[in-house]
């Protein structure tokens, strides 16, 4: 129980898997959760073979019953919850009207409700762990709504505001709430996705880049109360530009970047 503990959603592949491997290498007891049992088994084997500590479980982040069950099981193993990484997410790209309404709803359910549910159910464990942190995966798509990623951008904009509000609310409990902001990452989720902005910016980040960004953000001095952490040069540039660019100019730029 002396090991710090991290609970990661969407951990079977991609960013979640890379984050689990990195935190395990840094001495954390890793809780890895996903709907992909095969991927979790492979991750567990890799971490166990390297001498790390891991607990896995099936978790659909949209299932309000599974959240408290998985958290209670992990907390029983560790006696603490130092970091919750809300990583699980889905994405669909294309003209808004061409995507089925059920797919749009799935994006909102996973990328927004999944984050809210995780935070809500984990609060009791984060509060009991001194210096606990909640890390939400945001996106450069939240800077200004992206054509062909309309519902995904909306979901990540919601995560942005939620993170800001919750960091203010939970400061009194010594819980830090932050968002990490990668641009396009080479994952299965982005495979085959072609939009105006992916063509312009390319896919320049690896899952290891994002995992390293999450680790660096968690290690930052919390006294600054910094909330947003862009990952990679492109995201840093766009986040900075977004702070000072009038909406009219931002609209023109996004229209041009996306080919609309």
In the sheet that 5-9 helps form, which strands lie side by side, from edge to edge? 53-58, 29-34, 5-9, 83-86, 133-137, 176-182, 228-231
pLDDT, tens digit, 9 for 90 and up, residues 52-78: 999 999 999 999 999 999 999 999 999
Decide: 227 and 178 in contact? Cβ < 8 Å: yes
Question: Which structural domain, as residue segments, surrounds residue 72?
Answer: 5-258
pLDDT, tens digit, 9 for 90 and up, residues 207-250: 999 999 999 999 987 777 899 998 876 666 666 666 666 666 56
24 half-sphere exposure, CB direction, 13 A CA radius: 25
Q: What is the DSSP string of 39-84?
A: HHHHHHHHHHHTT-EEEEEE--TT-TTHHHHHHHHHHHHHS---EE
- What is the rounded CA–CA span in Å between residue 136 and residue 178? 6
**Alpha carbon distances (Å) from 230 to 5, 105, 118, 178:** 24, 27, 22, 11
The reported pLDDT for the residue numbered 236 is 66
CATH number at residue 74: 3.40.50.720
The reported pLDDT for the residue numbered 254 is 62
- What is the rounded CA–CA span in Å between residue 260 and residue 257? 8
The reported pLDDT for the residue numbered 252 is 60
Question: What is the pTM for the complete model shown?
Answer: 0.90
pLDDT, mean of each 10-residue run, the chain (260 residues): 92 97 98 98 98 98 98 97 97 94 97 98 98 94 83 95 98 97 73 62 78 95 85 68 63 63
Decide: 98 and 200 in contact? Cβ < 8 Å: no
What's the total number of domains in the chain?
1
The reported pLDDT for the residue numbered 141 is 80
The reported pLDDT for the residue numbered 98 is 96
Q: Is 174 left (phi over 0), alpha (psi -120 to 50) or beta?
A: left
The reported pLDDT for the residue numbered 157 is 95
Strands 53-58 and 133-137, bridge-based pairing: unpaired
Question: What is the set of active-site residues?
Answer: 152
HEC assignment per residue over 165-209: HHHHHHHHHCCEEEEEEECCECCHHHCCCCCHHHHHHCCCECHHH
The reported pLDDT for the residue numbered 223 is 75
- What is the rounded CA–CA span in Å between residue 111 and residue 41? 24
Across 91-124, b (16+ Cβ under 10 Å) vs e yields bbbeeeeebeeeebeebbbbbbebbbbbbebbbe
């Amino acid at each position: 129980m002396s090991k710090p503990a991290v609970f990661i959603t969407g951990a079977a592949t991609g960013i979640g898997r890379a984050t689990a491997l990195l935190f395990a290498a840094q001495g954390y007891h890793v809780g890895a959760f996903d709907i992909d049992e095969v991927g979790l088994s492979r991750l567990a084997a890799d971490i166990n073979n390297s001498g790390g500590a891991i607990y896995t479980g099936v978790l659909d982040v949209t299932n309000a019953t599974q959240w408290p069950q998985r958290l209670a099981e992990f907390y029983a193993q560790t006696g603490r919850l130092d970091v919750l990484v809300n990583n699980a997410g889905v994405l669909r790209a294309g003209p808004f009207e061409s995507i089925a309404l059920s797919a749009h709803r799935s994006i909102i359910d996973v990328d927004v409700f999944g984050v809210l549910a995780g935070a809500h159910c984990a609060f009791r464990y984060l509060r009991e762990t001194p210096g606990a942190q909640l890390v939400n995966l945001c996106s450069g798509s939240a800077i200004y709504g992206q054509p062909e990623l309309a519902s995904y951008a909306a979901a990540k904009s919601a995560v942005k505001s939620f993170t800001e509000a919750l960091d203010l609310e939970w400061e009194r409990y010594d819980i830090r709430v932050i968002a990490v902001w990668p641009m396009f990452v080479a994952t299965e989720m982005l495979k085959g996705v072609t939009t105006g902005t992916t063509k312009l910016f390319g896919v320049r980040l690896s899952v290891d880049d994002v995992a390293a960004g999450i680790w660096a953000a968690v290690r930052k001095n919390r006294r600054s109360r910094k909330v947003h952490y862009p990952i990679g040069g492109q995201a840093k540039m766009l986040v900075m530009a977004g702070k000072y660019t009038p909406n009219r100019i931002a609209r023109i730029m996004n229209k041009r970047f996306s080919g609309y």
